[in-house]
Amino acid sequence: MLRLSTILGLTAAVALTCGCAKRDDVDDRNVVANSAALSDAEYAIDNAALTALYGPEATRLRVMGHEFNVKMATIEHVGSSTTIRGQLSHHLSYRPDDQVYFVIRLENSRLDQISTDTHRGGLAPIVGPIAAVIADYFDVPIDGDMATSALRAIGASIDGAWESVADAIVTDAGFKAAALHL
């Protein structure tokens, strides 16, 4: 459950982003909330978002039951437009990590767009085609995409729904960037 300080912070960030409030009307303490007022999950998301924006790079940050490596984003200003590019790695044990690349665009310090591109790690991209070849050898009607999809479903049951956690980190970074006029 979100605490009042977080709700006020998000409300302030949204108000700034949509232009409903002026910068002078918003108290930074509500935008970058005091860690003592946050739940563990809120603090972890907040910490990961701030790490993405300000650095330094952090490895194995625990966020809602998942571990992420967070690289410091690059921030580019061109006129009234700001583009923030960053990367999160969802840490997987004994397998290649999942990668989330994100782009946050601000126009006149207002959040304009957030996009993500997920490159899945794990073993599904490697094992799926091999499983398809083996299935073909034994005349089992499974193609590479079906095998990869099945392996990803198994991986999701093992690793949980980490994508929503990554989306929360990126969205929080976008709100913070807009509210703080990065």
Backbone phi, psi, residue 50, to 5°: -65, -35
User: How many domains, the chain?
Assistant: 1
Task: Name the β-bridge partners of 105.
Answer: 83, 113
* Mean pLDDT computed over every residue of the chain: 77
Asked if 175 contacts 111 with a C-beta cutoff of 8 angstroms, the reply is: yes
Residue 38 has pLDDT above 60, yes or no: yes
Distances (CA, A) of 5 to 11, 12, 38, 45: 10, 10, 8, 15
CA dist 67 and 92 (Å) reads 8
The predicted structure's pLDDT at residue 125? 67
CA dist 178 and 92 (Å) reads 31
Identity at 157, one-letter amino acid code = S
Packing angle, helices 124-137 and 144-159, rounded to 10: 130
pLDDT above 70 coverage of the chain, percent: 69
The predicted structure's pLDDT at residue 129? 74
Domain interval for residue 31: 4-179
Which residue has better confidence, 167 or 119? 167
The torsion region of residue 13 among left (phi > 0), alpha (psi -120 to 50) and beta comes to alpha
Task: Name the β-bridge partners of 75.
Answer: 84
Over residues 42-56, the pLDDT tens digits come to 999 999 999 999 999
Cα distance between the two ends of the chain: 28
DSSP alpha helices (H): ranges in 55-123? none
Over residues 128-149, the pLDDT tens digits come to 677 778 877 888 777 767 766 7
Over residues 60-70, the pLDDT tens digits come to 999 998 999 99
Location of structure tokens 């009042």: 4
The predicted structure's pLDDT at residue 44? 92
pLDDT band at 7 (very low <50, low <70, confident <90, very high): very low
pTM reported for the whole predicted model: 0.67
CA dist 33 and 27 (Å) reads 10
